């Protein structure tokens, strides 16, 4: 499966919802392989259409949903199955049982979502999951069926996690001279919020690895530039790492920062994926640690998988600084969780406070913990 070639089969008993889900699939840069309204036809459609992913809306019957997921997983080991909870979720519905049956993720639709057309927040979550599957060809849940991806609704009332306030782990005196950011599922929205809090006068360059299909990284940079007022560009090979510019790694290529005789430059390469990702945050973080040492700042935002953890270790070993997004404000608390659990995070920060903490790190202001 390539980042731009994920084919998705949509299964939902409602024709209106099938079309709504199809729009979300296309927004994620994936191809709609087909639409199915009858669960009895799923197997034959999979055999004839050969999708990479099946997006299936749960029925009123738990057993029908679980049996369908199990049959798909057992007969097609490489097939990814994503389950939406649907409009008529049974009271005894168990997302854990569905995951155990073989689903790589279960996306819960909140009561406000349960209209004929899926709500925007559900569509965004689905798009993020599909982008990750398309980019990496794998899923944490598929490797560990009893664990949750940690994807949460944007509606705070549906989140069970307590908000984690910013907690300083260690204080450093050297100002950061570069900011390297890693993000995946939920990243575009998180990046927009974070960058909105960065002033135009901010000097250190910002380099970003967002797991995204190759066709969408340029439009992401354009959107972030438009929404935040900052100079956001898609990174190009051998571009000068100028101050005051935000660089987004192109989809499908690794991004590194290299020291040159006349300063630092961006270098793109097509080396093998790391953590099933290209671009990989680990690749970027390693290069930043090598080039900037104790003046490097890495930020790990919402996202699936563990990309960025090994790179964050390189940052810390170079005496740089590591920030990780907290669970309460992460759309998917997986990438930052790995960094935190490895003991690599200097601070665990809520997204609303992240831009202010980045500015403090770059100005070497170490005030009291918020």
Structural domains in the chain, CATH included, are: 7-158 (3.40.50.2300), 167-363 (3.40.50.180)
The CA-atom distances, in angstroms, between 224 and each of 228, 256, 343 are 6, 21, 31
Grade residue 27 by pLDDT with cuts at 50, 70 and 90: confident
Residue 365 has pLDDT above 90, yes or no: no
- 279/158: higher pLDDT: 279
Taking phi first (over 0 means left), then psi (-120 to 50 degrees means alpha), and beta for anything else, what does residue 163 get?
beta
| Tokens (6 digits) for 347 | 């601070």
Grade residue 88 by pLDDT with cuts at 50, 70 and 90: low
The mean of the pLDDT values for the chain is 82
Residue 120 has pLDDT above 80, yes or no: no
Which of 184, 287, 306, 334 is the catalytic position? 184
pLDDT in tens, 206-231: 999 999 888 889 999 999 999 999 99
pLDDT the model gives residue 115: 54
Residue 172 has pLDDT above 90, yes or no: no
pLDDT the model gives residue 29: 83
184 a catalytic residue: yes
219 a catalytic residue: no
For the chain, what percent of residues have pLDDT higher than 90? Answer: 48
pLDDT the model gives residue 313: 97
Which of 12, 113, 282, 307 is the catalytic position? 307
Q: Give the bridge partners for 263, in sequence order.
A: 260
Residue 148 has pLDDT above 50, yes or no: no
CA dihedral (60, 64, 70, 71) positive or negative: negative
Which of 12, 20, 132, 211 is the catalytic position? 211
CA dihedral (153, 157, 160, 161) positive or negative: positive
Range 121-132 average pLDDT: 78
pTM (2 d.p.): 0.62
Residue 162 is classified by DSSP as: P
pLDDT in tens, 261-320: 778 999 999 999 998 899 999 999 999 999 999 999 999 999 888 999 999 999 999 999
319 a catalytic residue: no
pLDDT the model gives residue 213: 84
pLDDT the model gives residue 341: 92
Name the least confident of 23-27, 69-73, 224-228, 341-345.
Answer: 23-27
pLDDT the model gives residue 15: 85
Question: Cis peptide leading into 359, omega within 30 of 0?
Answer: no
Phi and psi at residue 102, to the nearest 5° = 130, 0
CA dihedral 93, 98, 103, 108 (to 10 degrees): 20
Sheet architecture: strand order including 321-325: 167-168, 347-349, 321-325, 296-300, 178-183, 206-210, 245-248, 231-234
For the chain, what percent of residues have pLDDT higher than 70? Answer: 81
């Amino acid at each position: 499966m390539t980042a731009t070639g994920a084919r998705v089969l949509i299964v939902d008993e409602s024709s209106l919802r099938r079309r709504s889900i199809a729009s979300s699939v296309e927004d994620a840069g994936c191809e709609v392989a087909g639409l199915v309204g009858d669960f009895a036809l799923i197997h034959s459609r999979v055999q004839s259409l050969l999708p990479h992913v099946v997006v299936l809306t749960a029925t009123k019957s738990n057993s029908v949903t679980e049996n369908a997921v199990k049959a798909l997983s057992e007969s097609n080991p490489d097939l990814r199955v994503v389950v939406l909870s649907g409009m008529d979720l049974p009271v005894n519905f168990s997302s854990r049982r569905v995951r155990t049956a073989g689903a790589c993720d279960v996306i819960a639709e909140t009561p406000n979502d349960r209209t004929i057309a899926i709500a925007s927040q559900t569509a965004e979550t689905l798009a993020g999951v599909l982008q990750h599957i398309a980019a990496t060809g794998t899923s944490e849940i598929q490797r560990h069926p009893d664990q949750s991806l940690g994807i949460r609704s944007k509606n705070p009332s549906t989140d069970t996690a307590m908000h984690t306030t910013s907690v300083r782990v260690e204080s450093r005196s050297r100002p950061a001279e570069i900011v390297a950011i890693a993000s995946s599922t939920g990243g575009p929205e998180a990046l927009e919020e974070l960058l909105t809090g960065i002033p135009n006068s901010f000097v250190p360059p910002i380099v970003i690895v967002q797991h995204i299909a190759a066709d969408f990284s340029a439009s992401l940079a354009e959107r972030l530039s438009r929404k935040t007022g900052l100079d956001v560009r898609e990174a190009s090979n051998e571009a000068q790492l100028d101050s005051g510019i935000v660089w987004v790694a192109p989809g499908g290529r690794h991004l590194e920062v290299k020291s040159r005789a006349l300063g630092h430059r961006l270098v793109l390469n097509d080396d093998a994926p790391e953590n099933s990702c290209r671009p990989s945050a680990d690749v970027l973080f390693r290069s930043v640690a090598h080039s900037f040492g104790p003046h490097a700042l890495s930020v790990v935002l919402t996202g699936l998988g563990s990309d960025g953890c090994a790179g964050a270790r390189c940052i810390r070993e170079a005496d740089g600084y590591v920030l990780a997004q907290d669970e309460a404000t992460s759309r998917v608390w997986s990438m930052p969780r790995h960094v935190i659990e490895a003991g690599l995070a200097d601070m665990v920060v809520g997204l609303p406070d992240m831009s202010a903490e980045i500015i403090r790190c770059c100005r070497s202001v170490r005030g009291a913990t918020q």
